Chains A and B, each alone.
Chain A
Amino acid sequence: MARLNINGKLRDVQVEPDTPLLWVIREQVGLTGTKYGCGVAQCGACSVHINGEVMRSCAIPVGNVKATDRIVTIEGLSATSSHPVQKAWAALDVPQCGYCQSGQIMAAAALLKKNPKPTDKDIDEAMTNICRCGTYQRIRAAVHTAAGRKEA
């Protein structure tokens, strides 16, 4: 049994406490925008925000999450895909297969919240999620666009 605050809603789920938060979000809660990619916090496809920080949910046991922790998934980032990161991603046609992009978008949104005008070096350090299609060049450009800059 766990009580979670996901996208502003409190949810009670029947689940063993060692279950990774990722799988609770996907299976018990039913929000599948957050993806499984590696299960060992390497790829970032499972990235969500917890209290404003980007976290890799595949490596967080749900038992370590408190009901007061505010979890935001890709579904909760904005109601109408209107977050500046989502708009920039659309304008620059960033996704290819799209599978990693929930995590990329969550990582970019967390970066911009802390650092509204990131440099290329800031982006290098913050955007460490794996994209197998290789959309990195457009991700970089879209982070700059979302920050209100022309591509650096």
Chain B
Amino acid sequence: MNKFSSKIPSLSRRKFIIDSAAVGGGLAVGFNLPIGRAADAKNTLRGNEVNAWVVVKPDSSCVIRVARSEMGQGTHTGLVQLVAEELECDWKKLSIDQVTAGENLARKRVWGEMGTGGSRGIRISQDYVRRGGAVARVMLLQAAAEQWKVPVEELSVAKGVITHATSKRSTTYGKVAAAAAKLTPPDPKSIKLKDPKDWKIAGKPVLRLDTADKLNGSKLYSIDLKLPGMLHAAIRQCPVFGGKLSSFDEAKIAGMPGVKRAVKVNDSAVAVVADTWWRAKKALDALPIVWDEGAGTAESSATIAERLKGGLTASDEPFAGWQVGDALKAIGGAAKKIDAVYSTPFLAHATMEPMNCTARVSAERVEVWGPTQNAEASLAAASEESGLPLGKAEVYKLDLGGGFGRRGGTQDYTRQAVAIAKQFPGVPIKLVWSREEDMQHDFYRPISMCKLSAGLDETGKLQGLHIRISGQSINAFLNPAVIKEGRDMRQVQGMYKDPGDAQFAYTVPNLLIEYAMRNSHVPVGPWRGVNTNQNGVYLECFIEEVARAAGTDSLEFRRALLHDHPKHLGVLNAAAEKADWGKPLPPGVHRGIAQFMGYGSYSAAVAEVSVSAKGELKVHRMVLALNCGHAVNPQQIAMQVEGSVAFGLTATLYGELTVGNGRIQQSNFHDYAIMRLAEMPKVETVIVPTYDFWGGVGEPTICVVAPAVLNAIFAATGKPVRSLPLKNVKLV
């Protein structure tokens, strides 16, 4: 065991970081330190653990534990707001402690799941974290009551100060914490949580707790980690998915500055390890490598597109989906028929912090420092790759420089770091991918196409709707066990029959929704918003075509179909009202509208755009309405909505990866463009929580961005846009 291990993993972790900071020199701040203020790192846990969620220090400052990952989405601040609300501590005296996957495992997952994806961070943990704060409050009050020998009901508490009004006594959380920690905790379920109407910290637009060190360069991301004796690895993976490493000629880089060795990484990659990353990368660029590229070389964008087209018209196979009535018959006999085929490409996550991970492997222990959306998945990957049991593995999570679904279950970079570190026993190895590797070895947003048909009666009423999606399945690549009889319902996300998560809301008497699975060798995975993004384009742009064919206003046509789904209708109306739908616009400016559902939340958007005579698009303004049930921090929600517009617009304007000879043809931001500030429209966010459910925030609004913009372009040009991205489309 190394000298930093002890029975209290948190303490050992901190000691380790402090020691490494001292050794590393330039490191001013370690991770897991109190955020938002310059606190003394060494005092972080010099307090009493009242329960798993709350540690109280003698000065009554509280450390709130969090298990979910922070990647910019503000979940840490939101979770701490929820705990603090019930705890009744002083918001100005708070810090965050991130638990590790090893600690969670050792304590029988007392902090629940750690995975942070699917916009679950707050909505799934809200109940137990609030109860965590409430239990701690009850214990702290009980300790004071016992000390004063008065009934606990006579005590009140505010900002960590406990008062007994009758005897005019007061004490603090800090003073009673030691006694409270010894009490038997009450059953969390027995405690009544506050009504959100009474919230004082939650529900308020408080500033994030984790901003200060992002402003002066002191925040430590995983890519910045320095450990004593650490070496650096640069990696190259077979450019063709599914291909293998045949050989490499290490002799050609022998003697290059700083280079230690070139090593095989599993079957399909080679890494150069050196004393700095730049030297490792330079040697890697000079290393002759022979690949066995395999069967994937036969794949191209053209072959994949042909396969997807086949799925649009296939008839004799199992489709995922559901139906009402007989859509094909209703459309066949309709007075007016509308048909369209839409398509969306592969997209990369392109987190600003490229994939990276640091690992140290010895015969007794595997340790990993990494940017992970799922520390427990990282723990499992480290254990499997090292061959050591879970109990001998630990994952130290650092806040991510972007996640967007890339760093969840797919722990490829963690496995690689461990695989390299295994070949350097006891030496910490920091693996950093180049941007080119990141772009060409992602788990991409799946490519798909969609064929839609609708039938209107003589009065312009929608009588039948048929939606056939054809494309890659995320589950087929990552989780094939959940696919039953070839049917993967996840690919129709946002068009589900059942309420609650991602429900299709239009009432159509004859409806047929189908998904035909058409896979390729290109790895696919969840990409912020996952399948709601593509499906939102398909449904909402086609509904626009149908509304125009019916000669009905875009908003009124949707309203008429949403009468059975008041929450979908509610956000649609909220967006329309805020955007002054129906009122005059400046000359040349046109509106588009869309609504969709995902992650338990309801979203709608109105876009205002103009298209110049040359076909240049300008998105002037976007209004987004979101009903996420409970709004824990309205400012954070607005920031997520603004970010979702940038994410959705980037995909709309530029996002496209193509395949040639089995490999991704784009490599960096020069050919995979990301929207910049000048293109950012004015975003107005309308939050309309109904407080009868808990929905997600990070993802749900992306899916309405593209269709609202495309529908506004349709209004401007009179032509529907059916294929993304817009960089390939002549608008006029």
Chain A residues in the interface with B (C-beta under 8 A): 16, 18-20, 23, 26-40, 42-43, 45, 73-75, 77-78, 81, 86, 89-90, 93-102, 105, 123-125, 127-140
Complex formed: what's the CA distance from A130 to B186 in Å?
49
Known: A93-B208, A135-B643. A73 touches B217 (CB 8 A): yes
Report chain A residues within 8 Å CB of B26. 29-32
Complex formed: what's the CA distance from A90 to B401 in Å?
18
Known: A36-B223, A99-B402, A137-B683. A30 touches B352 (CB 8 A): no
Known: A27-B278, A74-B217, A99-B221. A132 touches B642 (CB 8 A): no
Interface residues on B, range: 35 or more
Q: Establish whether residues B678 and A124, one from each chain, have CB atoms under 8 Å apart when the complex forms.
A: yes
Taking chain B's interface residues, is the majority helix, strand, or loop, or is none over half, making it mixed?
A: loop
For residue B212, CB closer than 8 A to chain A, the reply is: yes
B401 nearest in chain A by CB position: A99
Taking chain A's interface residues, is the majority helix, strand, or loop, or is none over half, making it mixed?
A: loop
B73 nearest in chain A by CB position: A96
Q: Establish whether residues B352 and A131, one from each chain, have CB atoms under 8 Å apart when the complex forms.
A: yes
* Most chain A C-beta atoms within 10 Å of own C-beta, residue among B212, B221, B353: B353
Report chain B residues within 8 Å CB of A20. 278
B24 nearest in chain A by CB position: A30
Give the Cβ gap from B405 to chain A, nearest Cβ, in Å.
12
Complex formed: what's the CA distance from A38 to B680 in Å?
21
Q: Establish whether residues B435 and A37, one from each chain, have CB atoms under 8 Å apart when the complex forms.
A: yes
Report chain B residues within 8 Å CB of A81. 212, 215-216
Known: A99-B353, A137-B682. A86 touches B642 (CB 8 A): no
For residue B669, CB closer than 8 A to chain A, the reply is: yes
For residue B399, CB closer than 8 A to chain A, the reply is: yes
Per-position 1/0 for B192-231, Cβ under 8 A of A: 0000000000000001101110111111110110100000
Q: Establish whether residues B677 and A123, one from each chain, have CB atoms under 8 Å apart when the complex forms.
A: yes
Which residues of B (635-682) have their CB < 8 Å from a CB of A?
635, 639, 642-647, 668-670, 674-678, 680, 682
Known: A16-B279, A34-B217, A96-B643. 9 other contacts (CB 8 A): A32-B217, A33-B216, A33-B218, A35-B352, A75-B216, A89-B211, A93-B211, A102-B217, A124-B678
Q: Establish whether residues A97 and B400, one from each chain, have CB atoms under 8 Å apart when the complex forms.
A: yes
For residue B351, CB closer than 8 A to chain A, the reply is: yes
Give the Cβ gap from B628 to chain A, nearest Cβ, in Å.
17
Complex formed: what's the CA distance from A24 to B643 in Å?
32
Known: A37-B352, A124-B678. A97 touches B215 (CB 8 A): no
Report chain A residues within 8 Å CB of B139. none
For residue B277, CB closer than 8 A to chain A, the reply is: yes
Complex formed: what's the CA distance from A78 to B216 in Å?
8
Report chain B residues within 8 Å CB of A16. 257, 279, 282
Report chain B residues within 8 Å CB of A42. 668-670
Complex formed: what's the CA distance from A65 to B496 in Å?
59
Q: Establish whether residues B278 and A134, one from each chain, have CB atoms under 8 Å apart when the complex forms.
A: no
Q: Establish whether residues A136 and B680, one from each chain, have CB atoms under 8 Å apart when the complex forms.
A: yes
Known: A132-B350, A132-B352. A93 touches B639 (CB 8 A): yes
Q: Establish whether residues A140 and B680, one from each chain, have CB atoms under 8 Å apart when the complex forms.
A: yes
Q: Establish whether residues B25 and A30, one from each chain, have CB atoms under 8 Å apart when the complex forms.
A: yes
Which residues of B (34-78) have their CB < 8 Å from a CB of A?
71-74
Which residues of B (399-444) have their CB < 8 Å from a CB of A?
399-404, 432, 434-435
Tell me which of A74, A75, A98, A135 contacts B639 (CB under 8 A).
A135
Q: Establish whether residues B215 and A105, one from each chain, have CB atoms under 8 Å apart when the complex forms.
A: yes
Tell me which of B278, B646, B677, B680 contacts A128 (CB under 8 A).
B677
